[in-house]
Structure 1
């Protein structure tokens, strides 16, 4: 067994067992497995021999730890949390009663979604303080930094057509998913850069440079699009206290980007406009493009308004577009209304809308309090990340059944619970001091 396998195996086991002492370690253990573990890579295959179901093991330890410490957890339910479980119920309901049939692959995804939402349930219970929320963010940052460092030492075998592939957890093994996760961590680290001391800023800049270069190695158009969409929000919605730092950071980040990017990267980014123009003038008559998928999905939706069931788009799309031999929808929203139907897409859009309303509610709750700047930076970061995903990655790829999407949508629930806890503690401290002086 190699040193890498021993190190990662030890980290997983320590976090799993640590969940029995403090449930937050169970959350971090699950996230570490999700970020790093892939049975299809060399060390993952070795690891699978000793622990074949690490994510399930992580969930079981998390559940055990949560019940051991149930008195310290938040067991209240918010409307937003209930909406998440309603979506899971809709996925099951549509797939069982209105789908075109359920085979082994359909069951796999139904069970994957169920396991994910079990984790989400305990994730919301456990991550109920500001410190726990920060630990989750740092798990993302450290996991992405480790993968970025690993990416720069890989052989050419990990590159397909010049693009970095097959690194990180299952959801990140495809280049766009991996690049978007790097953008997520880069955003969180960039916000951390704003608040910390100068010597820490130097370390953060090195990490951001590694992550940015890793994104360039993936040549991901989806993430490039998402970052472009997020920049206006970053520039116009930054806190007045940090606005100058943000402007300077964006400019320096742009300079660093142009220094690191090569001709291949810019050539691939040029294809975004080229493909769009080709679709408009119908010059790709034999090649099936994304707009062809989406046109076929509308016809499918008209025939199956309640959806065709989870993971059935690829089976059905050839009936509506003979040129499509059964490819993915290449759009999360298209996949949602195609497979989960009208109920699914309406609920999904409500969840997204409510997420941003919740973030706004958090900002208003901390206005003119000692915690305003700290919490506003958290809302600033999570909003930026959501924009990158919602307007970039999700418009060009189908990630409806990807865990990171639902974890991100659940994070504002955790942040609001943590904020309420901070404000209650602040009010109690003020009340105690007033009683002491009177």
Structure 2
């Protein structure tokens, strides 16, 4: 019953706020629908059977049209990462012509095109730093709900949690990858807010997210969150401009985080983390975590024979030809490549891999420009918001290195968050400075 009430209140509230408060709430609604995923939840039969995602996207388009005079100021052509994203969509579309399984490839291509369109609309709707906050709130709230749902379900498949995913992330590892960056967002807002009543929602949300990661036992997500969280904490601790008692706050957060991890981690979680260092070598008699490096080498060899890629499913069907016969791959030799980078290489070729790398690289370069402009005492919170978004991207990039998440929604969201920060903190500031300079020139003449 709680899930139904949360879903309906979030749906109605975001719908109304899109008109009355800020248009970006249309995208927040999309975020919440993604995580609630009512069609595949046990409580889904208690809400009307509607195409919620389709309705939300249409609603976003309507809100965009209503707010077009302001939205057109956000120029998609000025975003380096989005230009590379559109180029990747074009490459992936062209691969259809020579893909190994054209119909299977289309099933991946259509959602990719839809996602690029939705992210473009969302960028147009984000017109202020506060709107960027709302997007991050929506992400944290959706991930927290999923963490709560996982807490309710518990481990239902050995030492894992299965059957709790979203549309594009049905398996446990995909779910862990989707919620891990949200923990960094909770960390940032816990630091930014001074009052306990404002910190409390992020403490609760972060607790549900971290507990869910412990229940799921995804090593890739654990590594990603450890790296992204450590980077954020390091930047907080050694920041050249700090607010009062910032270093003490960082130390407190670090100890509190370790204490909570000890509390939620059980024997299987500890063994799963410990196995990261233990399974560093490939053995022939069983599959280990290091076996995926054999898959990566196989994808590289496959790319030499098929430099333009083979489309979705190309690696799986050809894997037995490239994986050495003496390597144990479990129940089947038709395995996934288990890395988004090699997924891009095997599906879209060398050009696809290069484009993926450029999407990520340009995103980090965009955050660098934002930080340079915001590195001042009066922009401290916005500076660390950009650090937070950067840390979230680091978290997902490391996680997707060990999973096939090249087309993941949350990867697109991380790229979107960077683009919105780049727009509101860098591009718009440049425009304001340019306008001010023109006004001064006019006054002098």
State whether TM-score is above 0.5.
Answer: yes
Q: Of residues 388, 391, 395 in structure 1, which corresponds to 2:395?
A: 388
Counterpart position of 1:218: 216
Q: Does 1:367 align with 2:366?
A: no
Alpha-carbon distance in structure 2 between the residues aligned to 1:374 and 1:258: 30
Q: Does 1:318 align with 2:320?
A: yes
Counterpart position of 2:177: 180
Query: Please, what TM-score do these two structures have when normalized by structure 1?
Result: 0.87
Alignment deviations for residues 314-340 of structure 1 (CA, whole Å, 9 cap, x no partner): 223233336653222111111010101
Q: What is the CA distance between 1:9 and its match in structure 2?
A: 4.3
Contact 1:38 1:170 in 2 (8 A): no
Q: Does 1:348 align with 2:356?
A: yes
Contact 1:230 1:388 in 2 (8 A): yes
1:147-166 mapped onto 2 (5 Å cutoff): 147-154=146-153, 159-166=156-163
1:23-42 mapped onto 2 (5 Å cutoff): 23-37=23-37, 39-42=39-42
Q: 1:243 to 1:422 in 2, by over 3 A?
A: farther
Alpha-carbon distance in structure 1 between the residues aligned to 2:8 and 2:291: 42
Counterpart position of 2:421: 415
Contact 2:367 2:386 in 1 (8 A): yes
Gaps of 5+ in 1: none
Contact 1:148 1:211 in 2 (8 A): yes
1:167-316 mapped onto 2 (5 Å cutoff): 167-199=164-196, 200-238=198-236, 239-240=239-240, 241=242, 242-277=246-281, 279=282, 282-284=284-286, 289-316=291-318
Alignment deviations for residues 389-427 of structure 1 (CA, whole Å, 9 cap, x no partner): 112x11211101111101111211101111144676699
Query: Please, what TM-score do these two structures have when normalized by structure 2?
Result: 0.86
Q: Does 1:143 align with 2:150?
A: no
Alpha-carbon distance in structure 2 between the residues aligned to 1:343 and 1:300: 14
Q: 1:288 to 1:209 in 2, by over 3 A?
A: closer
Count residues with an aligned counterpart: 424
1:106-121 mapped onto 2 (5 Å cutoff): 106-121=105-120
Alpha-carbon distance in structure 1 between the residues aligned to 2:179 and 2:134: 17
Alignment deviations for residues 134-165 of structure 1 (CA, whole Å, 9 cap, x no partner): 000111111122222233222x5x52112223
Runs of 4+ more than 4 Å apart: 16-22, 285-288, 422-432
Q: What is the CA distance between 1:293 and its match in structure 2?
A: 1.6
Q: What is the CA distance between 1:3 and its match in structure 2?
A: 6.9
Counterpart position of 1:81: 82
Q: 1:130 to 1:167 in 2, by over 3 A?
A: same
Gaps of 5+ in 2: none
Q: What is the CA distance between 1:55 and its match in structure 2?
A: 1.5
1:47-58 mapped onto 2 (5 Å cutoff): 47=47, 50-51=49-50, 53-58=51-56
Q: 1:431 to 1:90 in 2, by over 3 A?
A: closer
Q: 1:285 to 1:383 in 2, by over 3 A?
A: closer
Alpha-carbon distance in structure 2 between the residues aligned to 1:314 and 1:17: 46
Q: What is the CA distance between 1:7 and its match in structure 2?
A: 5.1
Alpha-carbon distance in structure 2 between the residues aligned to 1:327 and 1:285: 12
Alpha-carbon distance in structure 2 between the residues aligned to 1:38 and 1:25: 19
Q: What is the SS of the residue equivalent to 1:350?
A: helix
Alpha-carbon distance in structure 2 between the residues aligned to 1:361 and 1:25: 27
Alpha-carbon distance in structure 1 between the residues aligned to 2:412 and 2:229: 23
Alpha-carbon distance in structure 2 between the residues aligned to 1:286 and 1:396: 13
Q: What is the CA distance between 1:354 and its match in structure 2?
A: 0.8
